[in-house]
Structure 1
Amino acid sequence: MASISTSKAEISYIRTGLLSNPPLRADGRGLHDFRTISLETGVAPLANGSAHLNIGKNPHDGGGGTEVLAAAKLEVENVDGHGDGVNGGRIVCTVSCSPSAYPHLSAPALDDLQQDMSTLLHQTLAHPSLHPPNLGILAGKKSWLLNLDCVVLADAGNTYDALFMAARAALWDCKVPRTRAVEYKASSAAPGAKVLASGEMDVDVGRDIEAQQSGFDTRSIARAVDFELPDYWDEGEVLGGSDRWPVCVTLNIAAPPPSSSSTAPCVHYLDALPQEEAATPLRLLLVFSFPPSSSSNLQAMRILGSGELESNQIRDFVASGEQYGQKIWNALNGKLKEEDVRRGQKARDRFARR
């Protein structure tokens, strides 16, 4: 979303540059070139996974650019049929926008923008095809609720791409605490024996001889009724399905001027600046995942703007978007692996100083 107002003369100038041969952009990039992307994971100490992403940061002073902070936090919820908890766990995604990132928007308009971003992110990442396999704790009793909160701190264009990249990085960094079921078992020893729970706590079951001899004594049935954490709260296993979390590709479609021939090509470009977004009548959001053992999946698609697209144009744009998405996916994976190495080395250095 453009964060500035642009005059008609500026819009005409920007469109003319995009449609010229060769195309001209204000920062000298090609139509399909991205700005510099910086990424840091593990930035929120109390979260189970977090990431700070910036697109277009100024290399001289470190400022500017589109900035998104994402954090994943796990909490336990009951699966009893009365609340929202479900077997296997669930994901809830929320997007907040800093008022300083959109000073031109009123409070209701900012709420609408946040709601729109939250809906797109939640409906995509909470889809069953992307559901992590390790969010369950006790079947029918307890499960993990994964809250993914994203904050748009600054909008310098291409916010949706930055939002999905930051979300993928936070989920990649997320660790699910290991759990161990606690079972209560009735003793089969002599009357007056004690019941052991998790090998530590003894519970006296009394001297009910008749109950111990009865075939309907349900105390002899072993079942898990609670769980414990064998690790610290910030340790655990990697969130399942980390190789399936998607990325977003925004195709900014600069239609030819009204006076142009109807056969003129429909130019598209990537990573738009705020002025370019204001001059672009139509944007196509494509969300792709690239599982290593199968073909790519189109997880979501949305058209923003007042323009129109024909079915054959959409088909061509989806094919092009898949190629761009693969490049973004590979570049982001490279940065995530670099972050894992950096943080691992940092932890080893900290341990060596002790």
Structure 2
Amino acid sequence: MALDSILDYPNVVPSDWIWKSPGYPKMQLFLWQMWWGRMPSNVNIHKRIPTTNKFCIFCPHMEEDMNHILRSCPRATEIWVGLKINLLRSNQLNDWLNLNLNNCEISPFAKVPINVIFGFALWFLWIRRNSWVFKKENIKSDVLIKKLCWAATEWFYTKSHTKVGKAPNPPASSTILQWTPPKTSYLKINTDASFLSSSKEACLAAVCRNELGIWVEGIQSKSLACDSAEAEIKAIFMALNWVRDKGWRKVIIATDSMIAWKATNTMTNLSTNTSSLSNECRVLSLELHDVTIIHEGRVTNALADALAKEAKGRRDGFNTICILSNPPPECLRIYDCELNNVLLTSSVEVQEPLTP
């Protein structure tokens, strides 16, 4: 079976990136099977059972493969039109998947990244098709759009939490849902941590950019932590030491963890495990010149988040700092996207340092 897949797709791009795409594991498995042409569409079933019908039940003269189900069928096009997102185009299905599942631009309709909406739309289109084939239940397009946007929003805003509750209200349309540059002459460092509860491994990352959004430097490291909050605080502490070692002044350090921000800016200690580390962060931030720690939403921290996840594959050992003079290939798309947003928006509102 594996050999058949390779022979069927000799020039296909490796599919490992699918397991890092937005969505739940069942959605990633769905994408992986589709990538290798193993989804049970009518065309694929007909290849194994020639007596079955290979045509679309809604388009009797069109063969039903995954490209038809998700792209050319009128039941699919009405969903894409209703979502109001600018999809990147490609004639090949796999190229189309690759381009749009890595598109981190914010959807003005759903207020979350396009790749998140795109992945959930694919999944819900498949569910809609199966609901009719097996149950003869028709899910209306407007209902499907509301359901998939709700599910995408819920996943996006709760993916870092152990419990998933009701999806939050989407941000107001006036909110800038992208990386925001610091004021002139300041540097901005975004920090993040990827925590593995099974091994207590914390992958830390920080990326420094100037007021133009240009990459100055990045760092990665691995450590051990009791929980995700401690991992986030360790990422802030790593950034503070980085600022001190570099001799930088006028720096904004941004974290997407409200708990870590409170712990490093106030006397709020999360636990005995983090109290000492939080105190060290507060002392070090006071010693440095013009350094402010702020909290921002997850949407503004995409590059640091990607950098932290990329650190999982490093074999440098624990507590070893890896210096990155350029963005890793896995993070280039996000970096270019955020850089273009800064360069193309001439009226970007610069961010003043905030007082804790």
TM over 0.5: no
TM-score grouping bracket, smaller chain normalisation:
under 0.3
Judging by fraction of residues, say which structure has more helix.
2
**Higher strand fraction (1 or 2):** 1
Compare CA radii of gyration and give the structure with the larger one: 1
Q: TM-score, normalised by structure 2?
A: 0.27
